[in-house]
Chain A
Amino acid sequence: MRMKNNKGANSNALFLRPKEWMVILILLTLTFIGLPIISKKSKQSNDSNYRIPYQLSNDYWSYTKLTSQLSEKEIPIIGDSVIWGEYVDKNSSLSYFLSDLSGHKFTNAGMNGLYPLALEGLIKNHAKPIKKRKVLLHLNLLWMSSPERDLSTTKEQTFNHPQLIPQIVRKVPSYHASTEKRLSRFATNNVPFLSFVKHIKENHFSQRSPAEWTCLQSDVNPEHFPNTYLNPLNQLFSKAPIPIDEQLNLSINDTERGVNSPRHKPWSGAPRTLDWISMDDSLQWNAFKKLCTELLSRKNNLFVLIGPLNNHMFNEMTTSKANLLTDEAGEWLKSIQIDHWSPQPLPSDHYADASHPLTHGYEMLAKELLKNKSFTDWVQPR
Chain B
Amino acid sequence: MLFHTWTFFCFFAVALIGLLLLRKTPFWVHWILGSSYFFYGWWNYYYLALIIYSTGLDFFTVRQMERPGARKKLWLWISILNNLSLLGFFKYADFFISNINDLTGLNISPASEIMPFGLEYLLPVGISFYTFQSMSYTIDYYRGKIKRETSFIRFAAFVSFFPQLVAGPIERAKSLLPQFQKFPKIKRHDIAAGASLFIVGLFKKLALANYAALYVDRIYEDPASANGASLALATFAFAWQIYFDFSAYTDMARGTARIMGFKLSLNFKNPYTSSSLSEFWSRWHISLSTWFRDYVYFPLGGNKKGTKRTYINLLSVFIISGLWHGAAWTFLAWGLLHGAGLTAEKALSNVKFTKVSLPRWVKIGVTFLLVCAGWIFFRAGSIDEALLIYRKIFSLEWNDPQFPLFLLLMIGSVWTYQLLFETKLKKVLTENWIRVPVLLGMIIYLFFCSSEGDQFIYFQF
| Contact B435–A20 (Cβ < 8 Å) | yes
Give per-residue flags for A24-65: 1 if the beta carbon is below 8 A from chain B beta carbons, else 0.
Answer: 100110010000000000000000000000000000000000
| Contact B407–A24 (Cβ < 8 Å) | no
Give per-residue flags for B256-271: 1 if the beta carbon is below 8 A from chain A beta carbons, else 0.
Answer: 0000000000111110
| Contact A18–B188 (Cβ < 8 Å) | yes
Chain A residue total in the interface (Cβ 8 A)? 51
> Which of the residues A3, A31, A197 comes within 8 Å of B448, measured between beta carbons?
A197
Nearest-Cβ distance from residue B450 to partner chain A, whole angstroms? 4
Give per-residue flags for B179-221: 1 if the beta carbon is below 8 A from chain A beta carbons, else 0.
Answer: 0000000001101110111011000000100110011001000
| Contact A211–B422 (Cβ < 8 Å) | no
- Which of A16, A184, A194 counts the most chain B CB atoms within 10 A? A16
A211 and B10 in contact (CB under 8 A), knowing A6-B426, A14-B438, A21-B192?
no
| Contact B422–A9 (Cβ < 8 Å) | yes
| Contact B439–A16 (Cβ < 8 Å) | yes
Nearest-Cβ distance from residue B246 to partner chain A, whole angstroms? 11
Give Cα A199–Cα B211 distance, bound, in whole angstroms.
Answer: 21
B406 CB–A CB distance under 8 Å = yes
Give Cα A228–Cα B269 distance, bound, in whole angstroms.
Answer: 31
> Which of the residues A186, A211, A228 comes within 8 Å of B207, measured between beta carbons?
A211
> Which of the residues A9, A10, A21, A210 comes within 8 Å of B195, measured between beta carbons?
A21
| Contact A16–B447 (Cβ < 8 Å) | no
A249 CB–B CB distance under 8 Å = no
**Across the two chains, which residue of chain B brings its CB closest to A11?**
B268
Give Cα A224–Cα B188 distance, bound, in whole angstroms.
Answer: 51
> Which of the residues B188, B279, B448 comes within 8 Å of A210, measured between beta carbons?
B448
> Which of the residues B6, B189, B195, B450 comes within 8 Å of A180, measured between beta carbons?
B6
**Chain B interface mostly helix, strand, loop or mixed?**
helix
| Contact A179–B405 (Cβ < 8 Å) | no
| Contact B436–A20 (Cβ < 8 Å) | yes
> Which of the residues B191, B215, B270 comes within 8 Å of A11, measured between beta carbons?
B270
B430 CB–A CB distance under 8 Å = yes
A2 CB–B CB distance under 8 Å = yes
Give Cα A183–Cα B4 distance, bound, in whole angstroms.
Answer: 13
Contacts beyond the supplied A6-B426, A15-B193, A209-B448: 11 A-B pairs with Cβ under 8 Å: A1-B361, A4-B422, A10-B269, A15-B192, A18-B191, A24-B439, A28-B444, A31-B444, A214-B404, A215-B214, A228-B405
List residues of B whose CB falls within 8 A of some A CB. 5-7, 10, 188-189, 191-193, 195-197, 199-200, 207, 210-211, 214-215, 218, 247, 250-251, 266-270, 273, 279, 359-361, 402-407, 419, 421-424, 426, 429-430, 432, 435-436, 438-440, 443-444, 447-450, 452
List residues of A whose CB falls within 8 A of some B CB. 1-7, 9-18, 20-21, 23-24, 27-28, 31, 179-181, 183-184, 186-187, 193-194, 197, 200-201, 208-212, 214-215, 224-225, 227-232
